[in-house]
Amino acid sequence: MGHRLSCVTARQHPDLTLLRPVVLTLLAIDGVLSAVAAAFLLPLRIGSVPFPISALISGLVNAALVWAALQWTSGPRLAALPLWCWLLTVAGLTFGGPGDDIVFGGVGIMQYAPLLLIVAGALPPALVLWRHVRAAA
């Protein structure tokens, strides 16, 4: 930016440190919303073939949420908060609800849809965290 700013030291704004817990909480809530949307849109079909596009989209959204959390905190454990909330929500959706309603159900290949959702939804953000830890070391 020129020679005028080379003598100015970079510093953290105090108003941003108060905003950090709010942003991390919103990212965690976004992880929950991503899990709910992915679970309810998982049985979508292309013609007569089930195609779990929501699992792939959820993985990309989760990777973006973890990347955003890494921008607000330096610790990868705290940056994984959206991923943990996503995993807990998916785990909670595996249980039966009132009246024995189930979210993950189906025959044939759809029996493996929850496993595919967990792998496709958790692998991209885990790779983002892994790359961040490797780059920091």
Sole residue written with tokens 């990309």? 60
Can you tell me the mean pLDDT for 24-39?
96
Residue 107's pLDDT band (cuts 50, 70, 90)? confident
Q: Is 44 left (phi over 0), alpha (psi -120 to 50) or beta?
A: beta
Length of the chain: 137
Query: Is the pLDDT reported for residue 16 higher than 70?
Result: no
Distance CA 124, CA 132 (A): 12
* DSSP E strand stretches across the chain: 45-46, 49-50
- Stated pTM of the model: 0.83
Residue 38's pLDDT band (cuts 50, 70, 90)? very high
> Which two three-digit tokens encode residue 94?
């595996």
Query: Is the pLDDT reported for residue 108 higher than 90?
Result: no
